[in-house]
Amino acid sequence: CLTELRSIERLVKQFNRIPALPDGVSVSEMVNEKVTRADNDGNEDVIELLCLSKTTRLSIWLVIFLPKIGIVLFLTYTGMVWLTATQSFADLILNALALEFVISIDDVLFSSFFPKNLVDCVGKMKIANPALEESEKEDSLAGYRRSVYYLSIMFTFVIIYLLFLQPVLPGYARDFGFYCTDFLAEELSPTCAMGSHEDCFPFGKHK
């Protein structure tokens, strides 16, 4: 979900830099189709998005960005509750993989059920942002600082969620280990400790 949020953030930054469509200009002028030379496949058509009208900009926010943000936040909360309720590490890995599939299901549905010409058209669409001025260019270290910032927020939020916000065990006082010491010691101790040979592969005997 963090990957989705970061991709939405980058897309919104590019989207906000698209110039507005000048007054009196037809909406057909918002895009420009041109032919570029590809590396291996010869010529390739590229559809450039040059500018946006106010109606188009508002529609993209209402139909694309806001639903994507809402879905990601909903899946983040639901996925955290689901993963918190997992009873074993093996199930945790499987549930995490299943959650990743749910997050990417929109791309699978788009590629599977929409016409190929529409999929190709969307794939050819590029945002033609104006060149940044020297004062607007981002320092190369700023991206690393932002990544560390996101990573710190993620770890902090996970710790706060597990200690205070998780609804799986409401009011959990972390006293589980006190009452289940013997059970946890038996369940978490390895069957074949390092250096042991008796009844462990490949030294164990068939019974």
Three-state secondary structure of the chain: CHHHHHHHHHHHHHHHCCCECCCCCCHHHHEEEEEEECCCCCEEEEEEECCECHHHHHHHHHHHHHHHHHHHHHHHHHHHHHHHCCCCHHHHHHHHHHHHHHHCHHHHHHHHHCCHHHHHHHHHEEECCCCCCCCCCCCHHHHHHHHHHHHHHHHHHHHHHHHHHCCCCCCCCCCHHHHCHHHHHHHHCCCCCCCCCCCCCCCCCCC
What phi and psi values does residue 125 have, to the nearest 5 degrees? Answer: -70, 125
Helical packing angle, 140-160 and 2-16, nearest 10°: 140
Supply the pTM of this predicted model: 0.70
Give pLDDT, residue 59.
Answer: 93
Give me the residues paired with residue 20 across strands: 52
Mean per-residue pLDDT over the chain, rounded: 80
Token output for 19: 């110039």
Mean predicted confidence (pLDDT) in 187-202? 66
Query: Which pLDDT tens digit goes with each residue over 111-136?
Result: 888 888 888 888 888 887 777 665 55
**pLDDT tops 50 at residue 138:** yes
For a pLDDT cut of 70, what percent of the chain falls above it?
82
- Dig out the tokens for 143 from the structure: 């991206």
Which pLDDT value is given to residue 207? 47
Q: How confident is the model at residue 58 (pLDDT cuts 50, 70, 90)?
A: very high
In 3D, which of 33, 65, 37 has the Cα closest to residue 50? 33
Q: What pLDDT digit, counting tens, does each position of 4-18 carry?
A: 888 888 888 888 888
Q: How much is the pLDDT for 136? A: 53
What are the tokens at 185? 């010691």
